[in-house]
Structures are given as structure tokens and as C-alpha cells.
Amino acid sequence: MSALNDVANGETDALRTVYAMTSAKLFGICLRICGERASAEDVLQTVYIKVWERAGRFDAELASPITWLATIARNSAIDWRRSDAGRVARDTLPEQAALAVADDGPRADQLLMAAESADQLRRCLGTLEERTRSCIRSAFFDGATYAELAERENIPLGTMKSWIRRGLLRLKDCLGDG
């Protein structure tokens, strides 16, 4: 997507193109993590303003364009969720149950990603204990915090931290460095 290069050159038309190609994906991310449409729309706006401002820093050697964009969207949605406004908004939302954890099966648009690294990550997540894996996935997809996960699993916070930290380090070993 060399359109990102054009965005970096300050071309608003190029940003329009990037938006047309990616906004449904990124809105899906914001919607899932924010949990409600109005905030997800606000966050999506800030995502593309960040893309506009940061496109010059996109490095194709480090990440694919869609990974780079998805990471900005996810981090922005999590920023919102951790903000005061996000906490207030979420307190008034129905139970988290509405946003059940994604199942472990790969989806069709997994094809967007390098299939090989996706397979490897899935295999390595598969070596973790089921509960740990499900908590890591919920942190990724729902933006859940340690405290929320501990409450959901009904275990002490320290235990949850220990599970996940060990799980993540195991995951890293399995994936190998790099």
C-alpha cells in the first residue's frame, strides 16, 4: 500500500484511499474494544488523524501496512478504554457478555496476514493452558485489563498476572526471537 507514502507526503486524496481500503477493518477493532458505536466513531477519527500525522514513520520492513494500521487502531481504542471518559461510558454499558471472546478458529480475512506467522502464533498459543490462552485473547480482542480478567475468572489479581506473564514468556520462547 504505497498510498501510505503518499499520505506521508501530505496528500489528502491518498488518505481517502487508505480510509476506503481499511476503515471497515479498523472500525471493527474500535467497535469491539470500545463496546459502543459513538465512541468507536470518535476513536476511528483520531486513528486516521494519527495515520495522517505518522505515515512518514511507517516502516515496511517492520510491519505490513495493515498491521501498522491495526496496531494504531487497537492502541487508540485501548487508550480510550483506559481514559476517564472510557471508564464512565463503559460503566453504563450492558454486561461484557455481549462481546463474548472470539473463538479460537481462524477467519477468512486471516489471509490478509502472512499465513506462516499466523500459523505459528496459533500453534504457540495452542501450547498454553486453555484458560491462559483465553485470557490473552480477551486482552487482545476485548481490551480487558488484569483486573477485569481476574474478576471474570474469579481468581486473585496476583494469580491472573502470574498466569498471563508466564503464558506470554512461554509464547515468546515458542515463537523464537525475532
Partner 1 sequence: MDNHLTPEEERDALAAELALGLLEGQARADAMRLSLSDPGFAALVAAWEVKLSPLHGEWEAAAPPDAVWDAIASRLPERRQPSVTSMETRLRRWQAGALASGAIAAALAFALFFLPAPVPGPAAPQLAVARIESDAGGPLVLARYDQSNGLMQLRIEGIAPGSLAPELWIIPDGGAPVSLGQIGRAERAEMTMPPPHRLLITEGATLAITMEPVSKTPHQAPSGSPVAAGKIITI
Contacting residue, 56, 126, 156, 158, with partner 1 by CB under 8 A: 158
Q: What's the CA gap between 100 and 23, in Å, rounded?
A: 23
Taking the complex as a whole, how short is the minimal distance between the CB of residue 70 and partner 1, in angstroms?
4
Distances (CA, A) of 142 to 102, 120, 138: 9, 22, 5
CB closer to partner 1 out of 24 and 98? 24
Contacting residue, 21, 89, 155, 168, with partner 1 by CB under 8 A: 168
CB 86 within 8 A of CB 53: no
Find the binding residues for partner 1 in span 43-102 (CB under 8 A): 44-45, 48-49, 52, 62-63, 66-67, 70-71, 74-75, 78, 81-82, 102
∠ CA 55-57-62, nearest 5°, is 110
Contacting residue, 85, 100, 117, 156, with partner 1 by CB under 8 A: 117
Nine cell digits for residue 29: 477493532
- Contact between 21 and partner 1 by CB under 8 A: the answer reads no
